Amino acid sequence: MDEVMIAQVRRFNRVVTQQVGALTDRFLARDRPLGESRLLWEIGSGSDGRDVRSLRTALDLDSGYVSRLLRSLEASGLVTTERSPADRRVTLARLTEAGEAEKDVLDERSDELATQLLEALNEGQRDRLVAAMAEVERLLTAATVRIAPADPEDPAARHCLRAYAAELNERFETGFDPGRSIRADAADLRPPAGLLLLATLHEAPVGCGALKFHGTEPAELKRMWVDGSARGLGVGRRLLAELERRATAAGAPAVRLETNAALTEAIALYRSAGYVETDAFNDEPYAHHWFEKALPPG
Amino acid sequence: MDEVMIAQVRRFNRVVTQQVGALTDRFLARDRPLGESRLLWEIGSGSDGRDVRSLRTALDLDSGYVSRLLRSLEASGLVTTERSPADRRVTLARLTEAGEAEKDVLDERSDELATQLLEALNEGQRDRLVAAMAEVERLLTAATVRIAPADPEDPAARHCLRAYAAELNERFETGFDPGRSIRADAADLRPPAGLLLLATLHEAPVGCGALKFHGTEPAELKRMWVDGSARGLGVGRRLLAELERRATAAGAPAVRLETNAALTEAIALYRSAGYVETDAFNDEPYAHHWFEKALPPG
DNA sequence: TCCATTCTCTGACTCTAGTCAGGTTTTTCC
DNA sequence: GGAAAAACCTGACTAGAGTCAGAGAATGGA
Instruction: Express each pLDDT in B140-192 by its tens digit.
Output: 889 889 899 988 888 788 888 888 988 988 988 888 887 888 877 788 888 88
As annotated, the residues of chain B forming the CATH 3.40.630.30 domain(s) are: 146-294
* A141-158 per-position pLDDT tens digit: 898 898 999 888 887 888
* A267-285 per-position pLDDT tens digit: 999 999 999 999 988 888 8
Question: Residues of A from 45 to 64 whose C-beta is within 7 A of strand D: which are they?
Answer: 51-53, 56, 63-64
Residue A76 pLDDT more than 80? yes
pLDDT averaged over chain B?
89
The SS3 of residue A201 is strand
State the Rg of chain B over Cα: 24
Determine the residue of chain B that is closest to A4 in CA distance: B130
- Say if CB B238 and CB B147 are below 8 A apart: yes
Asked if the Cβ–Cβ distance from A20 to B17 is below 8 Å, we say yes
Q: Which helix (H) or strand (E) holds A34?
A: helix A34-43
Calpha distance B132→A12 (Å, rounded):
10
The SS3 of residue A33 is coil
* Percentage above 90 pLDDT, chain A: 50
Calpha distance B33→B62 (Å, rounded):
16
Asked if the Cβ–Cβ distance from B125 to A119 is below 8 Å, we say no
Mean pLDDT of A23-41: 84
Mean pLDDT of A109-130: 89
pLDDT averaged over chain A?
89
Q: What are the φ/ψ torsions at residue A10 (nearest 5 degrees)?
A: -65, -40
Residue A192 pLDDT more than 80? yes
Residue A298 pLDDT more than 70? no
* B18-72 per-position pLDDT tens digit: 778 777 777 777 778 999 999 999 998 877 889 999 999 888 899 999 999 999 9
Pairing of strands A91-95, A50-51: antiparallel
Fold classified for B146-294: Aminopeptidase (3.40.630)
Worst-scoring range by mean pLDDT, A19-23, A190-194, B137-141, B274-278? A19-23
Suggest the residue from B4, B8, B12 to mutate for an interface test with chain A (most A CBs closer than 10 A). B12
CA A86 to C1' D7, in angstroms, rounded, equals: 13
Calpha distance A95→A104 (Å, rounded):
11
The SS3 of residue A238 is helix
Query: Looking at the domain that runs over B3-120, which CATH code has it been given?
Result: 1.10.10.10
One-character DSSP codes across B163-215: HHHHHHHHHSTT---TTTSPP--GGGGSTTTEEEEEEEETTEEEEEEEEEEET
Return the number of other C-beta atoms located less than 10 Å from residue B38's C-beta. Answer: 19
Q: Name which of A59, A52, A14, A61 is nearest A202 in CA terms.
A: A59
* Percentage above 90 pLDDT, chain B: 48
The closest nt to B25, taking CA to C1', is: D16
- The set of strand D positions with any atom below 7 Å of a protein CB reads 6-12, 15-22, 24-28
Residue B298 pLDDT more than 70? no
* B95-109 per-position pLDDT tens digit: 999 999 999 999 998
- Say if CB B224 and CB B263 are below 8 A apart: no
Q: Note whether B111 contacts A: Cβ–Cβ < 8 A.
A: yes
The closest nt to B51, taking CA to C1', is: C7
As annotated, the residues of chain B forming the CATH 1.10.10.10 domain(s) are: 3-120
Higher pLDDT, B178 or A127: A127
Sheet holding B91-95, edge to edge: B50-51, B91-95, B79-83
* A193-231 per-position pLDDT tens digit: 899 999 988 778 899 999 999 988 999 999 999 999 888
Residue A87 pLDDT more than 70? yes
Using CA atoms, how far residue A92 sits from A72, A73, B51, B190, in Å, is: 15, 14, 53, 63
How many residues can be counted in chain B?
A: 298
* A224-255 per-position pLDDT tens digit: 999 998 888 899 999 999 999 999 999 999 99
